[in-house]
Amino acid sequence: MIRRFRSLPLRSRLALLVAAAVAFAVAAVSVTCWFIVRGKLYDEVDNQLESAATRPQGGKLLDTITNCGQSSDQSDESPTDQGGFRAGSEYYLQVVKANGETCVASNTPGTVKVTSSDTDLARNPNRGIYRNGTDTKGNPVRVFTVPLVINDPGAGAPTVIDDAALQYAFPLKATNSTLNELALLLLFVGGIGVVGAGAAGLAVARAGLRPVDKLTEAVEHVARTEDLTVRIPVEGDDEIARLSESFNSMTASLASSRELQQQLIADAGHELRTPLTSLRTNIELLTRSEEMGRPIPPADRKALLASVTAQMTELAALIGDLQTLSRSDAGTPTNGVQVVALQDTVEAALRRARLRGPELTITADVRPWFVRAEPSALERAIVNILDNAVKFSPEGGTVDIVLKEGELTVRDHGPGIPSDELPHVFDRFWRSPSARALPGSGLGLSIVARTVQQSGGEVSLTPAAGGGTVATIRLPGAPTAPPDLPS
């Protein structure tokens, strides 16, 4: 049953759930209403019986009690007048003895069947009791049994008759008929309510799921056409609106990622074309000289081979940068995130920088700082920053490096970066017009920015006072190593 229910469409399940909830509510209200009406009707009958029981019985009733055994056989016929012991119209009136014998009053519709509770009250007079019962013909009646009290003006105070009780009863045929009609009416109205609730639930489900249908159509359209420009109108601030906003954000992110991917491919193709073209030209010159038997002068041949080597090196560096950048975009670190001693990474990068710029003066003030990052990627980022400082520093210039409280600053005394170019320095393949003649791919600072961001830090380039550029990297961490860091 549960599997069959889950296999239904969502709107059908919602309609069924609404109908079930309404059916439960209608059933609860109908049953409660029926019992309340039943209680009210029974209270009214009980009040009538109690009012009838308060009428005093005269002394002639004693003669009637004496002949009770004779009246018990007259249940199927109209009782005779026994000493003025008469019932009102529609009421049952009879005396019950402790041994179960009954004395039925005249004008009584019939004899009420006696139960053990009636005989118990006859033996031990107590407060009156109400109960449902039947007469000898099977008709339902409401019975009120009270102690038998004789109120004879000539005898003085009222007298309680031992081993006898007085019973009043009222037929419940009309009351039960009213209750049955009420039950049928409640059942009919409740059924109409459940059917109407099911139809309303289906209509509400269709209206409520219309945004979901639009979202489904949009997803199917994207899956079919790969069109990431689809947007769903957002109305309100409910869950459907939030889902639509999330879908729009997702498609926007995917579209941006695709544009970046296409731009990366285009830029990489453009950057690779130049060294490949030059490399192919130089190799063709060398091959042609061998085929034609015209040797190239040794100096020219040496220059061609040096150019081929430089172009291959540049090509390998560009491919390495692209691989590093693609791993950063995919969020797949090579060695995983570890606790890294940033001061050791800076010292290692300093040794490489001093080898590349032996004519420069490199000053360093490095203090301990421990961060969580990918070791190789972090070292590559710091090396790129130092390489830029070395590359753009004039011969005999100075590069100042300071690491203090998680902030690494690298200050060179080069030509600096124009203010209009600063917003673009971290873009992929972007190179300043003044630096395009220098070696490089334009990916170094992009790799730096991505690595620092993945480590939870930030990087910036600002003009330095007096000329040059200041590169600043801020990384969260601590000045002391955590206990799990090996010494």
Write out pLDDT tens, residues 376-392.
Answer: 888 888 888 888 888 88
3-state class (DSSP) for residue 88: coil
Angle made by CA atoms 120, 122, 123, in degrees to the nearest 5: 65
Q: Is the pLDDT of residue 74 over 50?
A: no
Write out pLDDT tens, residues 114-131.
Answer: 999 989 898 888 888 999
For residues 277 and 162, state if they share a domain. no
Range of the domain at 269: 254-328
What CATH code is carried by the domain that includes residue 76? 3.30.450
Count the Cβ atoms, other than its own, within 10 Å of residue 90: 13
| Average confidence (pLDDT) over 264-275 | 66
For residues 306 and 367, state if they share a domain. no
Is position 241 within any domain? Answer: no
For residues 347 and 323, state if they share a domain. no
Q: Output the pTM of the full model.
A: 0.46
Is position 13 within any domain? Answer: no
Please list the alpha-helical segments (H only) found in 54-172. 61-66, 68-71, 116-123
Q: What is the token pair recorded at 471?
A: 């590169």
For residues 338 and 463, state if they share a domain. yes
Q: What is the token pair recorded at 361?
A: 């003066």
For residues 290 and 386, state if they share a domain. no
Q: Is the pLDDT of residue 83 over 60?
A: no
What's the pLDDT at 332? 52
Q: Is 383 exposed, middle or buried (0-12, 13-18, 19+ CB in 10 A)?
A: buried
Q: Are 386 and 352 in contact (CB under 8 A)?
A: yes
What's the pLDDT at 409? 93
Listed in sequence order, the residues at least 6 apart from 386 whose beta carbon sits closer than 8 Å to its beta carbon are 349, 350, 352, 353, 399, 401, 410
What CATH code is carried by the domain that includes residue 413? 3.30.565.10
What's the pLDDT at 55? 65
Place of tokens 């008929």: 177
Write out pLDDT tens, residues 331-372.
Answer: 554 557 889 999 999 998 898 888 877 888 899 999 999 999
